[in-house]
């Protein structure tokens, strides 16, 4: 009986992860298409309905996994951020008539994408063969997602106003350069562009040293374990 429950629980977890990952990718594609076409997401009723559906699935995924967890309180504490990022804030703002500045509303729509980004990092980590590749793949997925989302924000807000942003690839180059803190000749001109630049620079300064420390520690442990094995 226990083996039956464990086997079916693993199957449910796998399908939940696949569903969350597929919806996250679909949301990214939808958002990217609107950004490239210059369509306002608030005016796109299809996007608002789809985001509400995706957020509801994210919330359902959280509570299903909470119910199936053998350590529910520990799961709740560790995954609380997932629940916070799953709330459809834009739909709630619209329903209750809550008003914010356009820049605030613009950034709020990326909150579900942050939830999807975490899901992608976890799934990428699951398919890795060992701890070292797990860490490398997860960090790479997070950094690529951050740079891509930043480039979307920068392109949509700066294109037509910033003479340095003539095409999307200019925004992508700026986002990659800002994330790696190497610097770029393009400077943001809008408040959203400046905030995005600050966030990308902070994430780059945090992620790269942390990534280096973790990888160095893992390599040292592997070398140490091999040395002990050869001595024995």
Q: What is the CATH number of the domain that holds 197?
A: 1.10.287.70
Helices 45-68, 2-37: crossing angle, 10 deg rounding: 160
- Report if residue 230 sits inside a domain: no
- CB count within 10 Å of CB 155 equals 24
User: CA-to-CA distance for 10 and 14, rounded, in angstroms?
Assistant: 6
Looking at the structure of the chain, the number of domains it has is: 2
Q: Are residues 18 and 121 in the same domain?
A: yes
User: CA-to-CA distance for 116 and 104, rounded, in angstroms?
Assistant: 20
* Residue-level pLDDT at 125: 59
Encode pLDDT of 3-31 as tens digits: 544 556 777 777 887 888 888 888 888 87
User: For residue 41, how far is the Cα from the chain centroid?
Assistant: 19
What is the model's pTM? 0.71
Encode pLDDT of 44-63 as tens digits: 778 888 888 989 998 998 99
Q: Are residues 211 and 142 in the same domain?
A: yes
Domain endpoint, select from 96, 127, 158: 127
Which parts of the chain sit beneath pLDDT 50?
1, 4-5
Q: Are residues 108 and 136 in the same domain?
A: no
* Residue-level pLDDT at 1: 42
* Residue-level pLDDT at 4: 47
User: CA-to-CA distance for 61 and 59, rounded, in angstroms?
Assistant: 5
Q: Are residues 120 and 219 in the same domain?
A: no
Q: Are residues 114 and 142 in the same domain?
A: no
Q: Are residues 182 and 86 in the same domain?
A: no
- Report if residue 64 sits inside a domain: yes
Domain endpoint, select from 101, 127, 153: 127
Q: Are residues 95 and 48 in the same domain?
A: yes
Q: Are residues 140 and 118 in the same domain?
A: no
Q: Are residues 94 and 179 in the same domain?
A: no
* Residue-level pLDDT at 231: 62
Q: Are residues 154 and 80 in the same domain?
A: no
* Residue-level pLDDT at 59: 92
* Residue-level pLDDT at 191: 85
Domain endpoint, select from 127, 155, 183: 127
Residue 37's domain spans which residues? 1-127
* Residue-level pLDDT at 71: 87
In angstroms, what CA-CA distances link 219 with 173, 209, 212, 226?
Answer: 32, 15, 11, 11
- Report if residue 229 sits inside a domain: no
User: CA-to-CA distance for 44 and 141, rounded, in angstroms?
Assistant: 28
User: CA-to-CA distance for 222 and 224, rounded, in angstroms?
Assistant: 5
- Report if residue 104 sits inside a domain: yes
User: CA-to-CA distance for 124 and 133, rounded, in angstroms?
Assistant: 10
SS3 122: helix
Among the listed residues 55, 123, 43, the one whose alpha carbon sits nearest the alpha carbon of residue 92: 55
Terminal-to-terminal C-alpha distance of the chain: 42
Q: Are residues 114 and 143 in the same domain?
A: no
* Residue-level pLDDT at 56: 92
Q: Are residues 101 and 182 in the same domain?
A: no
């Amino acid at each position: 009986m226990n083996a039956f429950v464990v086997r079916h629980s693993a199957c449910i977890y796998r399908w939940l992860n696949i569903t969350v990952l597929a919806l996250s990718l679909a949301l990214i594609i939808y958002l990217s298409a609107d950004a490239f076409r210059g369509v306002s997401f608030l005016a796109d009723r299809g996007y608002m309905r789809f985001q509400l559906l995706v957020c509801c699935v994210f919330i359902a995924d959280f509570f299903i996994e909470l119910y199936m967890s053998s350590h529910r309180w520990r799961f709740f504490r560790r995954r609380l951020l997932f629940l916070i990022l799953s709330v459809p804030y834009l739909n709630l703002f619209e329903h209750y008539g809550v008003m914010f500045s356009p820049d605030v509303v613009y950034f709020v729509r990326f909150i579900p994408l942050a939830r999807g980004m975490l899901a992608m990092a976890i799934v990428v980590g699951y398919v890795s063969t060992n701890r070292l590749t797990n860490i490398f793949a997860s960090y790479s997925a997070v950094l690529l997602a951050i740079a891509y989302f930043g480039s979307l924000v920068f392109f949509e807000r700066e294109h037509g106003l910033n003479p340095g942003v003539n095409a999307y690839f200019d925004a992508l180059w700026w986002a990659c350069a800002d994330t790696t803190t190497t610097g770029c000749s393009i400077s943001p001109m809008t408040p959203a562009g400046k905030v995005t630049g600050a966030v990308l620079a902070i994430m780059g300064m945090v992620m790269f040293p942390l990534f280096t420390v973790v990888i160095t520690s893992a390599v040292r442990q592997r070398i140490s374990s091999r040395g002990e094995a050869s001595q024995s």
